[in-house]
Amino acid sequence: MTTSMSTHTTPSGYLLPSIHSMPPFFTQQPNPATQATVTENWTRLILSYARHRRLFYLRVEDAETKGSEWDEVLRNERINRRLMPSHMSFIMADMVSKNLAVYEPPRQTRTVLLHWRLPEEWAEVLHEWASSTAQLNTILTFYEIIEPPVPSPLSGIPATLLRRAVAILTKTNRAQVIAVADGEGVRFLPGNPAR
């Protein structure tokens, strides 16, 4: 067994931390202080990988079965270790408690929506995108934002997260939700973000 600590670059181009090659990283530690470090590193790894791959959801099933988009981090074939589902549930609960994820849909603990950007950050990104693409004061449907003709930083954002971001903008008078024929639309206004 190798005990050397070294970083590793995955086929998707993600640089795994050296700790990922240490077997104890995949074990839930009985010592709470040690486990806190483990959880912190796992959280960072998951969020960073999610941003890298633009993944929004993490499910317990991803740890249970092989073949999910998370395999690169949840398993380490080189040291024959994988993250146990119970350990993963523990980490997910910790992330939710730190607002780095939310259970989505609510009232279950099997799936989380990852906040690799906080809703407030998403709101800023959204407004930035709207103004940079000159779509202020025009009415956009949610679909047009999620699936824009030109790929944007918001492509594929879950509707719930988008709604939350829009709601934040509405509070600061930088967006307006309008009912349109085929559902809801939103109009972005040139607000002053400093205010």
Partner 1 sequence: MSLRRYTKGVDGTIPVQALLYEDEELLASQDGIGIYDGTDKSAPHQSGIAYATTHRLFYVDAMHPDARSFEMDLSHVARTEYYAGLFTSSPKVTLYLHPIETPPSPVDGPSGGLAASEDPAFLSWTCDVCNYRNPPGLSPAASRICALCGVPRSATSSSTDGETTSSAAYQLSSSLPSSSGNFSRVTTSSSSSPRPASPPPQGPNDEIACPICTFLNHPALTMCEMCGTPLPKRVAPPRASQQIHAKSAPASRPTSPLPDKDGPDSRMIRLSFRKGGDKTFYAVLRRSLLGKGWELKSTKAAASSHARNKSAPGQTSGLSGINGILRNVETTAATSQTDMEDALKDFEALTVKWRDMVKLAQDLNERLTAAPSTSTTASALPSFTTPSGAAPTSANAEVLTTQAVEPEEATFIRSSLAQLGLQMANAPVTLDMIRDERRWIEELARELAGVLQGGGGKEKREGIMRQRGIVGLDEVWGGWNRARGVALIPPSTFLQVIPQLPQHTDPPIHMRTFTASGLSVVHTPPYTKAAFTARLVGLLSLAGPQTTVQVAREEALPIGLTQEMVNEVEDEGEICRDEGGSGLNVTAGLSGSGWASSGGGEVRLWVNIFQGYVWDGQKP
- Site membership for partner 1, residue 120 (CB under 8 A): no
CB 21 within 8 A of CB 76: yes
User: What is the nearest approach in angstroms of partner 1 to the Cβ of residue 43?
Assistant: 11
User: What is the nearest approach in angstroms of partner 1 to the Cβ of residue 131?
Assistant: 24
Among the listed residues 119, 115, 120, 111, the one whose alpha carbon sits nearest the alpha carbon of residue 50: 115
User: What is the nearest approach in angstroms of partner 1 to the Cβ of residue 70?
Assistant: 14
- Site membership for partner 1, residue 109 (CB under 8 A): no
Smaller CB separation from partner 1, 19 or 96: 19
Binding residues for partner 1, rule CB under 8 A, total 44
* Residues 55-84 interacting with partner 1 (rule: CB under 8 A): 64-66, 75, 77, 80-82, 84
From candidates 42, 45, 70, 145, binder to partner 1 by CB under 8 A: 45
Helical axes 119-132 vs 159-171, angle rounded to 10° = 80
* Residues 1-30 interacting with partner 1 (rule: CB under 8 A): 1, 3, 5, 7, 14-20, 22-30
Torsion of CA 177, 180, 185, 186, to 10 degrees: -50
From candidates 56, 60, 85, 191, binder to partner 1 by CB under 8 A: 85
User: What is the nearest approach in angstroms of partner 1 to the Cβ of residue 164?
Assistant: 21
Q: In this structure, are strands 101-103 and 15-16 parallel, antiparallel, or unpaired?
A: unpaired
d(CA 98, CA 135): 34
d(CA 166, CA 174): 9
Tell the residue number behind the tokens 């202020």, with chain if given. Answer: 136
Direct distance between the N- and C-terminal alpha carbons of the chain, in angstroms, rounded to an integer = 58
CB atoms closer than 10 angstroms to residue 83: 22
- Site membership for partner 1, residue 98 (CB under 8 A): no
Residue ranges binding partner 1 (CB under 8 A): 1, 3, 5, 7, 14-20, 22-31, 33-34, 37-38, 41, 44-45, 48-49, 51-52, 64-66, 75, 77, 80-82, 84-87
